[in-house]
Structure 1
Amino acid sequence: MDYDFSNKVVLVTGASSGIGESTALLFAKLGAKLSLVGRNEANLRAVAAECEKQKGVKPLAIVADLGTDEGVQKTAKQTLEHFKRLDVLVNNAAIGARTSILHETDMKVFDDVFRIDVRGVYLLTKLLAPALIETKGNVINVSSIAGTFVSVGSLPYGMAKAALDHFTRLVSLELAPKGVRVNTVSPGMTVNVMRKRALCATDIDDEFKQWMEGAKKNIPMGEPCVGDDIARMVVHIASEHSRLVTGTIVEVDGGLRFNNMSDALVTHVK
């Protein structure tokens, strides 16, 4: 299949690393005009520079915290002022957290996760929906299979992703008559910086590699996803090849959802 986004404006949140970085780079290779959002300015500008190298199209880099209304409003305003339109919104920005059992959980963790993973997505989509209606564009929310399968130690994160999945299904019905599609790509175990930080008490490569070696035994296809696996699915659903796909949760997980989710995520975590 050929994918061409040369006349499209694509906004990718959480673009400074991981899945967001991979998604931004792939859209850049396909000629998209990019608005990239992240909190880490140095990383974000490095990703933007790599994207520009692909087709010579300079992205708009927006440093913003999407856990705040100000950051969300800044993102929407600057994107529309710069490009005058929007065709694809990729809501990828999120934070994860490993937590203890319910009655020992710090409510700040809950609030932080929901501010970025749910409220930020809700508000940004709300603000940009009129622009997407004008272009008959589409929204891709990046969720997680943790929103469907329970895992001890990830209660706020799993709840937030379940909320995001429901948001996709409901908003897709609201916007379908307007010609806007809304879908979710739901990764399984994915090698990225966020997972490394969430699962390891220290940022030590050997510890993370040990965890991955143990955890991937629970994946039926034998290996975890990488950012490019998720990015390719995001692009496919955002493209005209998926023109009648909406309200759908697409899992990219190597079959992990069919296995024991709790064991897969807890194994080898110290």
Structure 2
Amino acid sequence: MSFSNKVVLVTGASSGIGAAIALKFAEEGANVAIVGRKVDKLKNVSEDIAKVVNKPLVIAADVTKEDDARRIVNDTVKQFGKLDVLINNAGVFGDAAITDANALTVFDQVMNTNIRSAVYLTHLASKHLIETKGNIINISSVAGQMVRERRFAYCTSKAALDHFARAIALDFAPKGVRVNTISPGPVKTDIFENMGANKEMEKAIWDQFLERSPLKRISDPSEIANLALFLASEKAVGITGSTYVSDNGMLLAH
């Protein structure tokens, strides 16, 4: 699957799934723009990509800020002249029950990052994607199809992201733009470290996920990247408005 001369914009690309997606597209010849808030981690990803292909465009930005969102799209198009693939990957967890005093604060933060930013970036990128008859891939979660304790905000945001993709797939279809969603289960990233978990807590969380997995495994970010590559390729030319689950059977167990 060659993406030579294609331009791919990946949010939440400073580590984990986003970093793996950016690297995978770059390896296939794409010009890649990587977006994230953590400058040091973005630099590391950029250096990893530059070892095998051309250095990506690095954009330090907060996707929840409208000025930053406009800069993300404008800088990408200014640098590369077009946009072929938008990967809405940026996301955060949120630990709160609906009865907690901070429930609405957590809800607003999670919704702004996980769904509103994707809506706004898609709106800004739409004219460029229509010009190239491009692709949009939203990285969701199996949490959009199930519920967990103290995760009402996160589960709601991912369910919204899933349905958003289906709704805009219908709008974009006559214009030749495809929209799809990937819903991973647990993927081994630094997400819990970023939430402040220590090494012991991290190990306990991953061990628990491993035990719950029917396949008795936890995915690597490269697996999600491979799926994104397929969905954005000509091999998936007839696929739009679909959700692809890659969760080692977690939904089955739930």
> How high is the TM-score relative to the length of structure 2?
0.96
**Contact between 1:96 and 1:195, CA under 8 Å: does it hold in 2?**
no
Equivalent runs, 1:1-270 vs 2, <5 Å: 3-55=1-53, 57-99=54-96, 101-106=97-102, 107-198=104-195, 202-260=196-254
Q: Does 64-73 or 189-198 show the bigger shift?
A: 189-198
2:232 counterpart letter in structure 1: A
Tell me the alpha carbon deviations over residues 121-150 of structure 1, each in whole angstroms, 9 at most, x when there is no partner. 000000101111111100000000101111
Structure 2 unaligned residues grouped into runs of 5+:
none
State the Cα distance separating 1:193 from its structure 2 match: 1.5
1:103 counterpart letter in structure 2: T
Distance 1:79 1:175 in 2: 21
Runs of 4+ in 1 over 4 A off after TM superposition: none
Distance 2:147 2:205 in 1: 19
State the Cα distance separating 1:105 from its structure 2 match: 4.8
State the Cα distance separating 1:104 from its structure 2 match: 1.0
State the Cα distance separating 1:19 from its structure 2 match: 0.5
**Contact between 1:141 and 1:164, CA under 8 Å: does it hold in 2?**
yes
Q: Report the number of matched residues.
A: 253
Q: 1:98 to 1:197 in 2, by over 3 A?
A: farther
Q: 1:207 to 1:252 in 2, by over 3 A?
A: same
Tell me the alpha carbon deviations over residues 31-64 of structure 1, each in whole angstroms, 9 at most, x when there is no partner. 1100110000111122112112212x12110000
Q: Does 179-188 or 76-85 show the bigger shift?
A: 76-85
Tell me the alpha carbon deviations over residues 145-181 of structure 1, each in whole angstroms, 9 at most, x when there is no partner. 1011111111101100011001000000000000000
Structure 1 unaligned residues grouped into runs of 5+:
261-270
> How high is the TM-score relative to the length of structure 1?
0.91
State the Cα distance separating 1:21 from its structure 2 match: 0.7
Q: Does 212-221 or 249-258 show the bigger shift?
A: 212-221
**Contact between 1:9 and 1:85, CA under 8 Å: does it hold in 2?**
yes
Distance 1:206 1:103 in 2: 29
Q: In structure 1, the residue corresponding to 2:52 is in which secondary structure?
A: helix
Distance 1:221 1:195 in 2: 22
In the alignment, what sits opposite 1:267?
none
**Contact between 2:95 and 2:106, CA under 8 Å: does it hold in 1?**
no
Q: In structure 2, the residue corresponding to 1:184 is in which secondary structure?
A: strand
1:186 counterpart letter in structure 2: S
Distance 2:32 2:234 in 1: 18
Q: In structure 2, the residue corresponding to 1:223 is in which secondary structure?
A: coil
1:206 counterpart letter in structure 2: E
